[in-house]
Chain A
């Protein structure tokens, strides 16, 4: 084969692969279906839903049965979600178990100051086998403050967790984001 033709074909193939990879990335970030679910299971992990913070308030991941579980020993702990664009609503589901009964609530941060948060009551609380519970809240994304890195922060509050030597085991955090922008301007703003 002609040497020059071979070079052109080789580079064309690689250029196509590079362009295709960025088209796919843009498609994945846009979430054109309008809904996406991210799961933090403390085993596989996901960059879209963080682990807890600060680290001194939780213990290393343990195995309970076949599941990897994060034990939390002091309240509150925070975590963040980092969606690829803005959405309208977020449905947060937490699968958890408490060593002793206590009040457990989720708060979303509404501003940069420590006191800027809003407590959400569980909208549904479902009992699962093995004394696990699945709590669900629906948060309008307009209520939720977004930091300079486009991250939305939330907190887990458990009453007297450290004082009572209680433990909160978190098995899974599932975040479903929904909402499709309308029109080019909204699509563009969704990435800003």
Chain B
């Protein structure tokens, strides 16, 4: 579980950094990124890995303790 958590954390963090840098570069020079890369796949990748990281990191992700 620790390895999965570390890998998903790295995926989510760096795809998030990639998106933030892309937005800055796109703001500086329109078309710099979006003419070459379909960013919807990066958004999907970031969303999935961020959700996976939250689930893995949270001790009780589905609130089972609260339900009892």
Contact of A25 among B17, B30, B32 (CB under 8 A): B32
Interface residue count for B (Cβ, 8 Å)? 21
Pick from B4-12, B51-59, B60-68 the stretch touching chain A.
B4-12
**In contact, B36 and A6 (Cβ under 8 angstroms):** no
Contact of B32 among A18, A29, A149 (CB under 8 A): A29
Contact of B36 among A10, A17, A25 (CB under 8 A): A25
**In contact, A84 and B14 (Cβ under 8 angstroms):** no
Q: A150 CA to B29 CA in the complex, in Å?
A: 9
Contact of B33 among A6, A25, A82 (CB under 8 A): A25
**In contact, A150 and B31 (Cβ under 8 angstroms):** yes
**In contact, B25 and A22 (Cβ under 8 angstroms):** yes
CB contacts (< 8 Å) of B32 on chain A: these are 25, 29, 84
Using known A-B contacts A82-B31, A82-B35, determine if residue A6 contacts B6 with beta carbons closer than 8 Å: yes
Task: Answer yes or no: B18 CB below 8 A from chain A CBs.
Answer: yes
Contact of B17 among A3, A18, A150 (CB under 8 A): A18
CB contacts (< 8 Å) of A7 on chain B: these are 6, 10
By beta carbon, the residue of chain B nearest A28 is: B36
By beta carbon, the residue of chain B nearest A150 is: B30
Task: Answer yes or no: B44 CB below 8 A from chain A CBs.
Answer: no
By beta carbon, the residue of chain B nearest A6 is: B6
Within 8 A of B (CB), among A140-156: 149-150
- Bin chain A's interface residue count: 20 to 34
Contact of B7 among A10, A15, A18, A149 (CB under 8 A): A10
Q: A149 CA to B30 CA in the complex, in Å?
A: 7
Q: A17 CA to B13 CA in the complex, in Å?
A: 13
**In contact, B35 and A11 (Cβ under 8 angstroms):** no
Task: Answer yes or no: B1 CB below 8 A from chain A CBs.
Answer: no
**In contact, A10 and B10 (Cβ under 8 angstroms):** yes
Task: Answer yes or no: B48 CB below 8 A from chain A CBs.
Answer: no
Q: A192 CA to B18 CA in the complex, in Å?
A: 23
**In contact, A21 and B18 (Cβ under 8 angstroms):** yes
CB contacts (< 8 Å) of B21 on chain A: these are 18, 22
New A-B pairs, 7, CB < 8 Å, besides A6-B6, A14-B13:
A10-B10, A11-B13, A14-B14, A18-B21, A84-B32, A149-B30, A150-B31
Chain A to chain B contacts (Cβ below 8 Å), 17 pairs: A3-B6, A6-B3, A11-B10, A11-B13, A15-B14, A18-B14, A22-B21, A25-B32, A28-B36, A29-B32, A29-B36, A47-B31, A47-B34, A47-B35, A84-B32, A84-B35, A150-B29
